[in-house]
Homo-oligomer: A and B are copies of this chain.
Amino acid sequence: MVRAQFALLDHLNIKTLHACVGSSLGGMCSAQAAVLFSDRIRRLVSISACTYSHPASIATRYVQRRCIMTDPNWSNGFYYGNTYPKHGMKVAREIATISYRSGPEWRQRFGRQKIEGAPISLCPTFLIEQYIDYQGERASVMLDPNTLLYISKAMDLFELTPEELKRIQMPTLIMGVTTDALFPVWQQREMAHQLMENGTPTTYYELPSLYGHDTFLLDIHGVGTAIKGFLETAVSEQTALRNTISPFPYY
């Protein structure tokens, strides 16, 4: 993916990037770009991402892929012109929604509120069920299923080794969200810690947002403020030096 992006930059005759910024898969890509094209990137921002997919996030994506691939309409990927595998896509998105948001957010937003007039049955009773159903329905036709499968698998396979991380020497901002279930905050801590140990000038923030992994889509102020500040502030050697003494625990 990153090589394709840089092929486009070559085509556009763009030699150097002021910064490479991304969240989630984008945060993985921005870190990968900083490793592969370290001489072409001046600053790196990686938000709610990681240096490798950990097993619980692989497990979640595996179940989502299984939902799509076991939908009879998926037809081994040859569904174009035939019935779209909507059912598998919907369940996959319902699972994704649970992993993208957070329990504390839903507690505040829905609590145990019931759907008005809904009788006690095996059908949805609580507003949270209606919300999950709506999110699944809405997103079930937003992305080509095969595209989703390949992106999902690419995320599982993503891994930057400690040796590769050493190539990241440009000023770097790492951000994590304390309620993120899919890319838990220990992953961003670990990444920042490794960079600091390598002497990379690293700024690290944890955001105590309620919105879990989706925070970068929702808390524009919380996430954006740090990016703006980081992109506009000079990073001195002193910054790098100070940060090599990491103030936070590894895990």
A-to-B contact residues, CB < 8 Å:
52-60, 62-63, 65-67, 69-70, 87, 91, 94-95, 97-98, 102-103, 106-107, 109-112, 120, 122, 124-126, 128-129, 131-133, 149-150, 153, 156-157, 159, 181, 184
Contacts and interface: CB of A to CB of B under 8 A. Distances in A.
Contact of A126 (B63, B98, B133, B156): B156
Nearest to A52: B112
A111 B55 contact: yes
A70 B60 CA distance: 20
Most chain B beta-carbon contacts within 10 A, residue among A55, A66, A156: A55
Contact of A107 (B55, B95, B103, B159): B55
A122 B69 contact: yes
Most chain B beta-carbon contacts within 10 A, residue among A87, A107, A109: A107
Nearest to A124: B62
A62 B184 contact: no
A57 B110 CA distance: 12
A238 to B, nearest CB: 35
Contacts of A91: 63, 66-67, 70, 91
A73 to B, nearest CB: 12
A127 to B, nearest CB: 8
A120 to B, nearest CB: 7
A83 to B, nearest CB: 14
B95 A55 contact: no
18 contacts: A52-B112, A55-B107, A55-B112, A55-B128, A56-B106, A56-B107, A57-B103, A58-B126, A58-B128, A58-B129, A59-B98, A60-B98, A62-B133, A66-B94, A70-B87, A103-B184, A112-B159, A126-B156
Most chain B beta-carbon contacts within 10 A, residue among A52, A112, A149, A153: A112
Nearest to A103: B56
Given A153-B122, A157-B120, A55 B110 contact: yes
B62 A129 contact: yes
Contacts of A128: 55-56, 58-59, 62
